[in-house]
Every structure is written in structure tokens, then in C-alpha cells.
Structure 1
Amino acid sequence: MDDPLPQMLRSDARDNRDRVLAAARRLFSERGLGVPMREIARGAEVGPATLYRRFPTKQALVDAAFTDELRACSGIVRDGCADPDPWRGLSTIVRDITELNATNQGFVDAFVSSYPGAVDFTAHRAGMLRALTGLWRRAQQAGALRPDTVVDDLILMIMAGRGLPPDPPALRVAAARRFAALILDSLRASPTTGALPPPARVAHHASTSS
């Protein structure tokens, strides 16, 4: 007969890991990546030793906590870039990413590298920025996007979105949708828009600062 004890131990380990990830996602989402590991352990109702056994570094916990968000973000960019209408594709990306990021402060922190250990985001960031740059140029060539804008402006807006109200969730989503509409209105090509100051190369900073 199979010994039930190892199966119970494996089940307990899975439960502990799931609780740690749930607590990390919640706390990172609410407060960003500065939450101490011990506080995450308390939120998961496990001891610090259990947390560090599953996730020996904060970087490992960040990577595991945001796997789903990173996949969703990559899918949004991929689908928007595949749209034959570059302005429509860019508009979809702006709306969807703004709303996605409004619900998860920690993911935005990791994506723009304000947490220095989030090195596993580097390759994903670089790939998404390359795709966005191509879409950006197509939208400009189509005459839909302001010619004096650069893809760094979108990263700047994502960073600015970190200031959206954190609570309650319904207000956060409503604010994100309003913010996305304002972003798109500012990016749309128009003969009446004034000149912009020189661009801030935040995309390069985001891709290298980790």
C-alpha cells in the first residue's frame, strides 16, 4: 500500500506555496514590491522558514507571483501588434494594459524595474518594446499617431498610471479607463496640437536598469 504520509506532506507543501503566492500577489498589488518577506509570510499564515524554503529570494517570489500577469501583458501586446489597423491595435494595447496595471501595483513596479532584483523581466520587456516600436512606427506612417511622439511616451504613461487611486477597486478601474482615454487623445495626430518637449528615454532606462 502507498504510504499516505508523503502524499499529505506534498499536499501541505502545495497548499503553503499557494497561500504564499496568493498573499504576495495581494500585498504586491496593493503596496508595490517593497513589502517585507516576513509580512508576506504572516499574510500567508506560514512561518518565514517555510516561505524561504519555497522562495529563497524575493526575486524568485516576484517572478512566480507575476507569471500570469506577464503572460497577459505579452498577449495584449502581441494581439494589438497583429491588428492590421495600427491605430486600433495601439489603442487596444493602451486601454488593456492601463486597466491591467491599475489592478496590480507590484506588476508595474517589476515591469519598469523600480525593484532592482526583477531581472527575469528583462527579456520580456525587451521583446515587448521591440514589438511596440514597430507598431508605433506603423501608426505614425498611417498618419494616425502624432509624429513627434516616441514609444518611450507610452512607458512614461504606464509609470504615471502608478498614481491612480488604489481603492476601492471599482474606482481604480474607472480611473484607469478614463486615464487610457486621455492618453489616446493626447497621442492622436491632429493639426492643432502644439510641439512637445524633447522625449525622455524611459524605455531604455526600463530595459537596462534591472
Structure 2
Amino acid sequence: MQAGEPTKKKERPLRRDARRNRDSIIAAAAEAFAKEGVNAPLESVAKAAGVAIGTLYGHFPTRRDLVEVIATEKIAAWLEAAQRAADADDPWRGFTDYLEVICKLQADDRALSDIASTDTPLAECIESRLARIRELGRIIMVRAQEEGTLRADVSPDDMAIVIWAHRGIVAATRDAAPEAWRRHLALMLEGFRSERAHPLPVPSLNALHGAAGSAEQRADAQTICKVFGSK
């Protein structure tokens, strides 16, 4: 996505045909972004929507405008899952269910990962929801640790790396075994239980590339870790 100032749109009712075109573009973009990520060719989106590329740009002058419309619904579903997990009566179940929901959303939709990890500023309503998701992610983790079921040395960036690694697993197995990620996640979660805890060989990512790391290493760590609420 290209950075830039939000495009200001005139607020006026769309004609029926224009509304139909806009809805078709959004539907086609949602499908293309889910399969290919948010950098899917817009020419292909326009073709799938049955409109000219000029019509697409007439409704969405920049890729970012289109991504923000698609992102709103996806982030709302993510936020709902995070709140449900934070409110769960069983903190460990809330923690594991939340990771499973994130992984499923990611497996079904490549755009979600792109949206969550982008450094390009998005609409204020989306950014505020992502900030709330990160806050809830920390709450979900801490509740399970305070209960004693999640090992105490797990950090938010450990959780974020699970999500980051999941992207690669999904990409490698999507065609041959689309549900293979569930087995990997279950194995990972077993290792997070406090009763299985043994000393870890190295510190967390942020600890490794904090004050002592290069600017590039710190930037990479922050991009990875911000998905789950690490600072």
C-alpha cells in the first residue's frame, strides 16, 4: 500500500447503477485480497467486478481507500474475538481460543495479516480498533499467566511470532493440506502450558533486539510484535 493523506469523498447518494458497481468492486476486492493479499492487481479486481479500471478508481481513487473499506469488517470481527476471549470465564480457554480464531482468520484471508502488519497509517477508526486489539491481546495473555496455566516467561512478541510463523505454514500447505495449521498450533499451545515449562535458551525478540539491536532489527521486531500487543 502507498502512504498518503486520506482521500476526501463527497457525501452524496449514489445512483443505483453506481451503487451496484461499488458493491461489485468491494466484493471482488475482498475475494482478491483474501487470496493474494492487499497488493492484488486492481486491474484484476475491476475485471472480476465487471467494471472498467477507471470506474474502480472513480469510486476508490487510491488502493488505500479500497483497503480501508475491506479492512473495516475484518478488523471488527477480530476485535469481537479479542473481547470475547478477554471476557472468558476460563482464561486459558480464552487464550487458546483467541489464538485459534486469529490463525483461522489468517488462514482464510491473507489481507488480514497485511492490514495488521502494515506501517501505512489507516483510517482512524481502523487504527483505534487495532490499538484496542493489541491492548486486549495483552490482557488475554496476562489473565492466563495470572491463573497459572500459561508459562510466566511467555511475552507478547512470542505470541506474535506464532502468528508470523503461521503465515508461512498456511502459504506452504494451503493447497495440499489447508487444515495442517491446526496441528501445528495445537503443538505450539502444548508448549505454552506452565506445567510443561523449562528454561528457554534465549530471551524474547524485543529483549534481543531492544536497546542493543540495530535500527533495522528493532524495526523488524516491532513490525512482528505489534500484532499481539508488544511495544
TM over 0.5: yes
1:186 aligns with 2:169: no
Q: CA deviation at 1:89?
A: 0.6
**Contact 2:75–2:130, Cα closer than 8 Å, also in 1:** no
d(CA) in 1 for partners of 2:129, 2:92: 23
Match in the other structure for 2:211: none
Q: What is the match of residue 134 of structure 1?
A: 139
Give me the identity figure in percent.
30
Q: Which residue of 1 aligns with 2:114?
A: 109
- 2:32 pairs, out of 13, 24, 27, with 27
- Counterpart residue number, 1:55: 60
C-alpha deviation, 1:42, in angstroms: 2.0
Alignment correspondent of 2:155: 150
Deviations 1:125-182 (A, max 9, x none): 22111111122112112111111111122222112221214644x932x123223212
In structure 1, the residue matched to 2:69 is 64
When the two chains are superposed, the root-mean-square deviation of aligned CA atoms in Å is 2.5
Q: Which runs of 5+ in 1 are unaligned?
A: 1-6
Deviation at 1:118, TM superposition (A): 5.2
Distance 1:15 1:118 in 2: 29
Q: Rate the CA distance shift 1:25–1:154 in 2: closer, same or farther, 3 A.
A: same
SS at 1:12 equivalent: helix
For the Cα contact (< 8 Å) 2:151–2:197, is it kept in 1? no
2:7 corresponds in structure 1 to none
Quick check: 2:144–2:150 contact (8 Å CA) kept in 1?
yes
Native 8 Å contact 1:63 1:118 kept in 2: no
1:4 maps to: none
**Equivalent residue of 1:35, what SS?**
coil
- Contact 1:155 1:203 (8 Å CA) reproduced: no
- In the aligned structure 2, how far is the partner of 1:59 from the partner of 1:118? 9
- 1:94 alignment partner in structure 2: 99
Name the SS of the counterpart of 2:160 in structure 1. helix
1:74, distance to aligned residue in structure 2 (A) = 0.6
**Following superposition of structure 1 onto structure 2, how do residues 72-83 of structure 1 map, counting pairs within 5 Å?**
72-83=77-88
Amino acid at match of 1:101: Q
Which of 162, 171, 178 is the aligned partner of 2:177? 171
**Distance in 2 of aligned mates of 1:196 and 1:90:** 24
Determine the C-alpha separation between the residues in 2 that align with 1:56 and 1:196.
Answer: 50
Distance in 2 between the 1:93 and 1:156 partners?
A: 15
Structure 2 residue identity aligned to 1:10 = R
| Correspondence for 2:18 among 13, 18, 21 | 13
Q: Does 1:119 align with 2:122?
A: yes
Q: Distance in 2 between matches of 1:199 and 1:140?
A: 16
